[in-house]
Amino acid sequence: MKEVHSLARKIREKIVINRINHTVDKPRKGNAVVPRASRPRERSVTRLKATFTDLGVDMTETEGCNFTRTSSLSRPAPKRFRSASATPRPRSLSTPRDEMGVKTPQEADKIKKRIRKAVHRSKNSVRGESDRHIFDLKPKHLLAGKGSLGSSNKR
């Protein structure tokens, strides 16, 4: 039991020393950080195993430990766009909304005529209220508002 306690004390001391070294070596804010590729690797699993075996820890069964290398997740390859191999096929276009409920060409002609008449009527209805606007200086209190037919000069 004393061996385990002494081992734990040594490990704790090592952690404290590493923490102090890290704060000393840490680059100050504002300075450019050296890229990782240019620095030599300071830590490795083999060195970790060596230091722990020197401390007296059994490092033989370390396959499932978090410091051992695990295979990185492999992503599935993206699907290739097969533009050259496949023959082009015309896409079925959606029918226009004005032709959607029409069954026969005779019905389509009737509908087009009705649409034209409806547009004509709506234009006429706009023209019907054109005499509301008073261009010259006239008594607006007499001419404003809707009146009955034939009373556009006085209401």
Asked, for residue 46, whether it belongs to a domain, the answer is no
User: Is residue 41, in this structure, part of any structural domain at all?
Assistant: no
Mark residue 70 as left, alpha or beta (left: phi above 0; alpha: psi -120 to 50; beta: remaining).
beta
In this predicted model, which residue has the larger pLDDT, 95 or 112?
A: 112
What's the domain range around 126?
104-143
- Full 3-state SS string of 74-115: CCCCCCCCCCCCCCCCCCCCCCCHHHCCCCCHHHHHHHHHHH
The number of folded domains in the chain is 1
Query: Does residue 83 fall inside a structural domain?
Result: no
Q: Does some domain include residue 53?
A: no
Task: For the full predicted model, state whether its pTM sits above 0.85.
Answer: no
The CA-atom distances, in angstroms, between 155 and each of 25, 145, 146, 152 are 97, 8, 8, 6
pLDDT of residue 64: 72
Residue with tokens 């006085």: 154
- Give a yes or no: residue 97 inside a domain: no
Percent of the chain with pLDDT over 70: 63
Q: Answer whether residue 155 shows pLDDT above 60.
A: no
Residues 14-40: tens digit of each pLDDT? 999 998 888 877 766 566 666 666 667
pLDDT band at 153 (very low <50, low <70, confident <90, very high): low
pLDDT tens profile 48-63: 888 888 998 888 887 7
Task: Report whether pLDDT(148) > 70.
Answer: no
Say if 136 falls within a structural domain.
Answer: yes
- Choice among 87-91, 104-108, 138-142 with the minimum mean pLDDT: 87-91
More confidently predicted of 83 and 106: 106
- CA–CA dist 88, 17 (Å, integer): 69
pLDDT of residue 8: 94
- Indicate whether 128 belongs to any domain: yes
> What are the distances in angstroms from CA 97 to CA 30, 107, 110, 116?
64, 15, 16, 17
Task: Evaluate if residue 65 carries a pLDDT over 50.
Answer: yes
Task: Report if residue 150 sits inside a domain.
Answer: no
- Within its chain, how far is the Cα of 41 from the centroid? 38
- Compute the distance between CA of residue 59 and CA of residue 112 in angstroms, rounded to an integer: 88
